[in-house]
Amino acid sequence: MNNPQLNKHGELQHLLSTEGLSAAIMLGILERTASFVNVAAGSEIKKVPLLHGKSVFNLFFESSTRTRTTFEIAAKRLSADVVNLNIGSSSTSKGETLLDTVDNLCAMHADMFVVRHSSSGAAHLIAQHVAPEVHVINAGDGRHAHPTQALLDMFTIRHYKKEFHNLRVAIVGDILHSRVARSQIHALTTLGVPEVRVVAPKTLLPAMVENLGVHVYHDMAQGLRDVDVVLMLRLQHERMQGAALPSAQEYFKYYGLTEEKLAYAKPDAIVMHPGPMNRGIEIDSSIADGAHSVILSQVTFGSAVRMAVMSMLAGAA
Amino acid sequence: MNIHIKNGRLIDPKNSIDAVRDVFIAAGKIAAIGVAPEGFVADRVIDATGLVVAPGLIDLAARLREPGYEYQATLESEMDAAVAGGITSLACPPETEPPLDEPGLVEMLKHRARNLNQAHVYPVAALTSALKGQELTEMAELADAGCVAFSQADAPLTDTRVLMRAMQYAATFGFSVWLRPQDSFLAKNGVAHDGEVATRCGLPAIPVCAETIALSTMLMLARETGVKLHICRISSAAGVELIRAARQQGLAVTCDVSMNHVHLSEMDIGFFDPNCHLVPPLRSLRDCAALRAGLLDGTIDAICSNHAPVDEDAKQLPFAEAEAGATGLELLLPLVLKWSELDHLQLSDALHKVTLQPARILGLDAGHLSVGAAADVCVFNLDTYWKIEPGALKSQGKNTPFNGFEVQGKVHYTLVDGQVVYQG
């Protein structure tokens, strides 16, 4: 089966998932990200003209302020024209199908779509549908993938830990419903992290998750023991209604990241979170704001990663 | 009209014939096999040299989409597709709009089908009113109107007392109850097998226990009530094992599998192919192997097309939102032949699963070419290889996970009641 993310020369055509990307492509994105960190940090160069004259459509079928904003900033720093569409509140509610919407925007000469959708596979569907000169970036589809988040996490890990091949990484929380977790797992295993763990109660783990190349833990003391990186996940409130968990309080007591639990990790462990955080549910404020936390660095690197991906897709040098 | 089908390779599983034999048809029935009856003068001679002459196929699950879903398919389009696929009888499930839950609807469907003068249509009526799982339908009246069995289709029946009562009432009259086992709580929102692929793709999943729990309940209630139970579209290894065990304990339960599940697994979902969004979900390779083993040892009696034409708009959506189902009428024969080749079966044993066995489940004297039987015949070329191209299908549904597959077996003639209703 053809990899729908690559063109016939093996170059990145769309960014849909970290699964199926080679380590070389991922490292290429991270290298390019490094070169954009300065632009993103707003040093003397505010803008680069790499996407000058290109139109980037932020197609958000599911609301998100943070991710949409970082994509918007990234596109603008690359000098692209950016159009934001919150489709949840317009076309599809009037009966237009997803692909109708895409066709209409293609007719307006879109060069790139940044897509967020509540259904797994939505970005793949759009990528299969558009003309070959149009690029699709998956900004989160259902429970499936959120590749730019995972890539910025990889950039952050490399920034603090330098290498991947000697790390022990734990992903903690609602793996079952998390597109971030899936994308992190594929990225970490591809980049050569020798031990990736998931820590969660059984109700928040998908079937056969160990086949993704992770070790499964149900206990934080064991799961965090001697890890270098702790990747926390957001817990959605609706998990309580679906009988996946009894209460947020009990979850925090057994799976929330506190000083006490973090003490099991290596002394120089870093703590990450994709945001937005639920303080006191999956993470204690003292950790979120503490010395181990690199959560704000993740946010800073977020737009640089997205600049890297967009410029790579556009074929700009 | 007298028809002489000559020089064909006659395969009739019931009569254990697999040999070159001429078939003589008169007054819509098989008049003789091998030697012409005295005084027989053919009005038409069909030269079947190099072709297989078999009983017409009988499909246990073909949605014709009428009434209610004519935008997806019509009786005309799907009956054309059926005979083009060599199918001469089909059972249609009650999931129409409104559902087939009252005699008037059934009579109308039968009347419409009869006027088209193609395949025989056997409606399966709703087991409960509007398929809501609460009140029983007028089963005896529906049977009088021409229904052959009662089914809950894919609608949930969560109240086990209603299920037990429905079985008891059906058993009173000797009616068959056809059920697809699925616990609706465990399957809620699920669109794919709870396994490796759903985990990778992040698709809401349906665990195997959704099938086995419902199946166990059905088998126990069948034992309790003595109803004739037919299990539709089994999908898992564990499900096959439950049926095998129930049979060994003497329960007269029958069972079918969809042709999709004989050939495909969750792996075929690939990058979210909505054509692989099926009900029940495609399960693991291990389950697929167990289904094939169940067919071989007779635990699974029949193969159905599980024909479900879906309009293109309803498929051009992300996997979970795309409507479930695949077109199947024209693919049943080639996919049964493909299965026969994969599992090294005698052609006769393979055709058995789509002729005589489904006829038995339907309670029909059909699916064979004995002298005196209705002349429902399928004449096909076993050695024609062709590529499945959705656009070329007669069915209004072009949705198939077998798009691009190379298959063998092309229908040349289909006869229903001694009339040539399709010639390819």
pLDDT, position A94? 61
Cα–Cα distance for residue pair A20/A10, rounded to 1 Å? 11
pLDDT, position A317? 40
Cα–Cα distance for residue pair A53/B299, rounded to 1 Å? 65
Q: Which residue of B has its CA nearest to A118?
A: B318
The model's pLDDT over A112-131, given as tens digits with 9 standing for 90+, comes to 999 999 999 999 999 999 99
The model's pLDDT over A4-26, given as tens digits with 9 standing for 90+, comes to 999 988 899 999 999 999 999 99
Contact check, Cβ <8 Å, B194/A120: no
Cα–Cα distance for residue pair B326/B239, rounded to 1 Å? 22
List beta partners, residue A170: A197, A230
Angle at A13 between CA A8 and CA A19, to 5 degrees: 95
**Closest alpha carbon to A288 in A249, A308, A254, A262:** A262
pLDDT, position B410? 97
Q: Which residue of A has its CA nearest to B193?
A: A207
Cα–Cα distance for residue pair A156/B31, rounded to 1 Å? 82
| Predicted interface score ipTM higher than 0.85 | yes
**Does the beta carbon of A179 lie under 8 angstroms from any beta carbon of chain B?**
yes
Cβ under 8 Å to B: A residues 85-124: 97-99, 117, 119-122, 124
- From A119, A124, A207, residue closest to B199, measured CB to CB: A207
Q: Which residue of B has its CA nearest to A4?
A: B271
The model's pLDDT over A135-166, given as tens digits with 9 standing for 90+, comes to 999 999 999 999 999 999 999 999 999 999 99
Contact check, Cβ <8 Å, A207/B318: no
Per-residue pLDDT of chain B (424 residues; tens, 9 = 90+): 999 999 999 999 999 999 999 999 999 999 999 999 999 999 999 999 999 999 999 999 999 998 999 888 999 999 999 999 999 999 999 999 999 999 999 999 999 999 998 999 999 999 999 999 999 999 999 999 999 999 999 999 999 999 999 999 999 999 999 999 999 999 999 999 999 999 999 999 999 999 999 999 999 999 999 999 999 999 999 999 999 999 999 999 999 999 999 999 999 999 999 999 999 999 999 999 999 999 999 999 999 999 999 999 999 999 999 999 999 999 999 999 999 999 999 999 999 999 999 999 999 999 999 999 999 999 999 999 999 999 999 999 999 999 999 999 999 999 999 999 999 9
Residues contacting residue B39 through CB under 8 Å, at least 6 positions apart: none
Structural domains of chain B in order of their starting residue, each with its CATH number: 57-362 (3.20.20.140)
- Are the C-beta atoms of residues B333 and B321 closer than 8 Å to each other? no
- From A98, A99, A209, residue closest to B199, measured CB to CB: A209
Residues of B in contact with A143 (CB under 8 A): 202-204
Please give the full DSSP string across B239-264, using - where no structure is assigned: HHHHHHHHHHTT---EEEEEHHHHH-
- Are the C-beta atoms of residues B129 and B165 closer than 8 Å to each other? no
Residue A97: enclosing H or E segment and its boundaries?
Answer: none
| Cα pseudo-dihedral B343, B337, B405, B239, rounded to 10 | -60
Angle at B223 between CA B220 and CA B225, to 5 degrees: 105
SS3 A214: coil
The model's pLDDT over A158-189, given as tens digits with 9 standing for 90+, comes to 999 999 999 999 999 999 999 999 999 999 99
The yes-or-no verdict on residue A192 having pLDDT over 70 is yes
Angle at A243 between CA A241 and CA A244, to 5 degrees: 110
- Are the C-beta atoms of residues A277 and A299 closer than 8 Å to each other? no
